[in-house]
Each structure stands twice: as structure tokens, then as C-alpha cells.
Amino acid sequence: MDIEFSPALEAFRAEVCAFLETAPPDVREAGRKTTSVFAPFETVMAWQKILSEKGWAAPNWPVEYGGTGWSAEQKYIFNEEYARRRLPPLLPNGLKMVGPLLIELGSEEQKQKHLPGILNGDDYWTQGYSEPNAGSDLASLNCSAVRDGDHYIINGQKTWTTLAFKANRMFMLVRTSSEGKKQQGITFLLLDRVDYPGMEIRPIIGLDGKPEQCEVFFNDVRVPVSGRVGAENDGWSVAKSLLKHERGGLGDSAAMYARLELIRAAAQGTPSPFGGMMADDPTFHQAIGELEAEIASCAAYERMMVSGHPIAQDPAAPSITKVIGSELAQKVSTMMAKVSGVNALPVQSQALEVGSNTAMLTDDFDLIAMPYYLLSRATTIYAGSDEVQRDLIARSVLAQHR
Ligand SMILES: Cc1cc2nc3c(=O)[nH]c(=O)nc-3n(C[C@H](O)[C@H](O)[C@H](O)COP(=O)(O)OP(=O)(O)OC[C@H]3O[C@@H](n4cnc5c(N)ncnc54)[C@H](O)[C@@H]3O)c2cc1C
């Protein structure tokens, strides 16, 4: 897709810039302090409310459900201006995962009940897929749901449920049958509360001292059958549909370009071990050039995905997007850590909090370099590990050339 910035598009850009400039200071701070796909929770959810009042929270949703109706070019411009200002990415679970899934497969009642809260940020959904013995091999999940009239009774455990302790909703996979292939006995459920009697959320404290992931335990938890998406025992196809949205939403070249600019600026003030500044070092030029080429290639791929290229219909496309996006995030974060050097080493957890009174030691580049580097290690694991995605890509390609 060639992007020509016509006068109409330039006028659109001006409108976007004018609005984004009104982002409150704490939102800007949250953006500067974002170290993973999960921006600081309270601030980003409040920002989502502001964006949704403007009608801009879900550019990719159909207009009838609250999308913007923007063209691919307009979305490109919005993403570019958003990333340029380092605004925090909206949290993905509602807007990029369960929302699109409900639009695609939910009943009318489920759409009416859940989409408004997903859009305006009143509700936050956590994802209950993984279990202690079901990660890559997700179909081995054991958390069971037994039908009892208008309810299912759930028993078992989920793990790695990101931000479950902040969520008020959960989508999950349960085992409703042990007959036949293991994929055939799975059901997809929406829970409209995470405080049902018998439900317990225990945070897992990460190496950064923060409880981002959780374990969730279910002990005879009664949930309404009306939360089921699709038919009983047909949850595997629903789950795969959601994973398509989850994996397909992971490439973000605009944010990567913005970080590349930060790296370039930081390198101007970082001494090179070979003398002079890092920005003047030929090996730095080579590394940054290679990174820029990779980001440009990711951007080209993203444009193919939004402009009707046949690859967007390939079953492997979400996996390709996931591998490209996750590895790129790791490379960019590695470069940030290298340029930050020893300045990245002090642990500055308190200064990382939005609204903190603790001053950062140098600047926000050094502040986020190490947490971003460390948290980016997870990008090739979550949403299905990259090894497994490569397997899916290979299988899809081999199937087409058999
Ligand atoms: C930060 C983070 C957030 C997460 N958030 C959530 C969440 O909100 N909700 C949720 O449900 N889950 C979540 N997860 C879990 C995530 O989906 C799983 O960690 C992931 O699917 C891998 O499963 P596993 O950890 O059990 O590893 P395993 O499946 O045990 O894999 C271990 C290693 O073996 C490799 N491997 C496994 N099978 C194969 C194969 N067939 N071929 C080649 N290699 C293979 C894997 O690539 C990996 O390197 C999160 C994980 C992380 C790290």
C-alpha cells in the first residue's frame, strides 16, 4: 500500500495531533514508563475512557460496535502520531482479544452485555487459558466445568493469568468432556465476575517484584451457562479464533520506530568504548541500520496485512505477526540496554511508578531500558511460544505446497 498524504489526510493528521496533545500529564508519564505490552493499569484504563468518549478507543472494530471507520491510511497516521508522543498502548485483552472475538462469534445478548464495557474501559478482562500442565499443549487443559441446570460448576486451576487481580471479568477455557480427542471436550466461557464464591486469585511475584501474573483457583465455582461462547465442547475453535486476534495484534512498527529514535538520541550522549560518542561509532551505525531495516520490513508486513494482501488470509498470518513482533521487541530492547549501559543497572522500581516522588537517577531512557529488556524476554513465550508458532507456520506452508 503506497501511502500518499493527501490534503484530506494531512487535515486528519492535524485533528489527531490536536487531540493527542490533550493527553493528561499522567498519561504521558505512563507512556514514558511503559516497559511491556501492559502499560500502567489505572492510568491507561482512565486514558482509554477518554479515547472512547472521543470514539477512538477501537479503530479496528466495525463502526456499528464503536469502531472509527478509518481507512488503513488514517489508522497508520493515528498509530504514527500516537507512538511519536510515546502514549501508553491500550491494554490488549478487551480491545484486541475478547472484543473482536465477541464481534465475530458472540451472541447478540453477549455483544450487548459486554462490548460497551470493553470499549469504554469499565471492564477489564483477564485470560484464563494456561494451566500448570497446559501451556504450549493447551488442549491438555484439565480445569473442569460440569453442567448443573443453568450453571456450570468449575473446579481446577489457571496460571499466568496476567493482571487477574485488577480484572473484573475473565474469559476462560474449561474441560466439559473427556471423550474423544482432547480438543473436542473444551468449552469457552465468559465470567462476568472474578469474585464468585470459591474463586481465589493469588498473585505470582515476578523478578521485578511486581505481581503482574497470577494463579486462579476454582473450587465448586457456579457460573451461568449464558456466558458460554459457541457450543459446549466446541470451545477449541473459539479459543483458536481468539488466539488469531491475540497473535495478530502483536506487531507494532510505529512504537518500534519511536523507540529507535530514543536509542539514536541516547547514543548522542553515550561515550563509546572506542572513543567519541556511541552515535559516531561505525559498529553502532551498522547495528542501528540493521534494526531500522527490520522495523521497516515489519511495517511493510503490517501494511500488507491491512491492505487486503492475500497473506492476511493465510492461517499462518497471526503466527508470522507474532514471531516478527516479539523478536523485534527483543532486539529493540537489547539495543536500548546496550546504549544505556551501566545506567540501566540500578533498580529504580519506585521511580518507575506513575506519579512517584522518587526522582529517576538519569532520564527515562535509562529508567526503562533494563525493565523493558527483561520483560521483553517474555514476548517469545506468551500468546504461544515462538517455537510453537514456527511449527504452525511450517505446517501451514507445507500444507499449501504438498
Ligand atoms: C508474561 C507472560 C504472560 C502470560 N499471560 C497469560 C495469560 O494472561 N493467560 C494465560 O492463559 N496464559 C498466559 N501466559 C502463559 C503462556 O501462554 C505460556 O507460558 C505459553 O503458552 C508457554 O507455555 P508454558 O509456559 O507452559 O511452556 P511449555 O509449553 O512448557 O514450553 C516450554 C518450552 O518448550 C517449548 N516447546 C513446547 N512444545 C513445543 C513444541 N511442540 N515444539 C517446539 N517447542 C516446544 C516451548 O517453546 C518452550 O520454550 C503468559 C506467559 C507469560 C510469560
- Which CA distances in Å does 196 have to 164, 169, 189, 219, 222? 13, 11, 14, 10, 7
In ligand 1, which atom is closest to the CA atom of 385?
Answer: 47
- Residue listed under C-alpha cell 507494532: 252
For 232-273, the pLDDT digits (tens) are: 999 999 999 998 888 776 668 999 999 999 999 999 999 988
Instruction: Report the nearest-CA residue for atom 29 of ligand 1.
Output: 136
Q: Where in the chain is the domain with CATH 2.40.110.10?
A: 125-235
Ligand 1 neighbour 48 (Cβ under 6 A): no
Collapsing DSSP to helix, strand or coil, 229 comes out as strand
Ligand 1 neighbour 130 (Cβ under 6 A): yes
Collapsing DSSP to helix, strand or coil, 261 comes out as helix
State the fold for domain 7-90: Butyryl-Coa Dehydrogenase, subunit A; domain 1 (1.10.540)
Give me the residues paired with residue 200 across strands.
Answer: 217
Instruction: Report the nearest-CA residue for atom 24 of ligand 1.
Output: 135
Residue 76 alpha carbon to ligand 1 centre in Å:
31
State the fold for domain 250-400: Butyryl-CoA Dehydrogenase, subunit A; domain 3 (1.20.140)
Considering only CA atoms, give the Rg of the chain: 22
Residue 380 alpha carbon to ligand 1 centre in Å:
9
pLDDT number for residue 99: 97
Ligand 1 neighbour 124 (Cβ under 6 A): no
Phi, psi (degrees; rounded to nearest 5) at 23: -55, 130
Residue 131 alpha carbon to ligand 1 centre in Å:
10
125-235: which CATH architecture?
A: Beta Barrel (2.40)
Q: Where in the chain is the domain with CATH 1.20.140.10?
A: 250-400
Ligand 1 neighbour 319 (Cβ under 6 A): no
Ligand 1 pocket check: which of 125, 129, 130, 393 to mutate, most ligand atoms within 8 Å of Cβ? 130
C-alpha closest to that of 254 among 313, 302, 312: 302
For 150-200, the pLDDT digits (tens) are: 999 999 999 999 999 999 999 999 999 999 999 999 999 999 999 999 999
Q: What is the rounded CA–CA span in Å between residue 57 and residue 218?
A: 33
> Which CB contacts under 8 angstroms, 24+ apart, belong to 97-100?
97/125, 97/127, 97/171, 97/242, 97/245, 97/246, 97/249, 98/125, 98/171, 98/190, 98/242, 99/58, 99/61, 99/65, 100/60, 100/61, 100/245
pLDDT number for residue 208: 77
Interhelix angle for 317-340 vs 253-268, to 10°?
Answer: 10
Q: Where in the chain is the domain with CATH 1.10.540.10?
A: 7-90
Ligand 1 neighbour 388 (Cβ under 6 A): yes
Q: What is the rounded CA–CA span in Å between residue 281 and residue 273?
A: 9
Residue 139 alpha carbon to ligand 1 centre in Å:
13
Provide the grid cell at 185: 471436550
- Residue listed under C-alpha cell 540501566: 344
pLDDT number for residue 1: 46
Q: What is the rounded CA–CA span in Å between residue 118 and residue 226?
A: 18
Ligand 1 neighbour 92 (Cβ under 6 A): no
Q: What is the rounded CA–CA span in Å between residue 238 and residue 362?
A: 47
CA 125, chain centre distance (Å) = 12
Judge whether 126 and 170 are in contact, CB under 8 Å: yes
Residue 328 alpha carbon to ligand 1 centre in Å:
19
Ligand 1 neighbour 391 (Cβ under 6 A): yes
Ligand 1 neighbour 384 (Cβ under 6 A): yes
Q: What is the pTM of this model?
A: 0.94
Ligand 1 neighbour 35 (Cβ under 6 A): no
Residue 359 alpha carbon to ligand 1 centre in Å:
36
Phi, psi (degrees; rounded to nearest 5) at 171: -110, 140
Ligand 1 neighbour 204 (Cβ under 6 A): no
Ligand 1 pocket check: which of 385, 389, 391 to mutate, most ligand atoms within 8 Å of Cβ? 385
Ligand 1 neighbour 93 (Cβ under 6 A): no
Q: What is the rounded CA–CA span in Å between residue 378 and residue 39?
A: 15
C-alpha closest to that of 218 among 168, 272, 282, 173: 173
For 311-325, the pLDDT digits (tens) are: 888 889 999 999 999
pLDDT number for residue 367: 97
Kindly give the parts of the chain with pLDDT less than 70. 1-4, 249-251, 402
Ligand 1 neighbour 127 (Cβ under 6 A): yes
C-alpha closest to that of 124 among 162, 87, 154, 70: 162
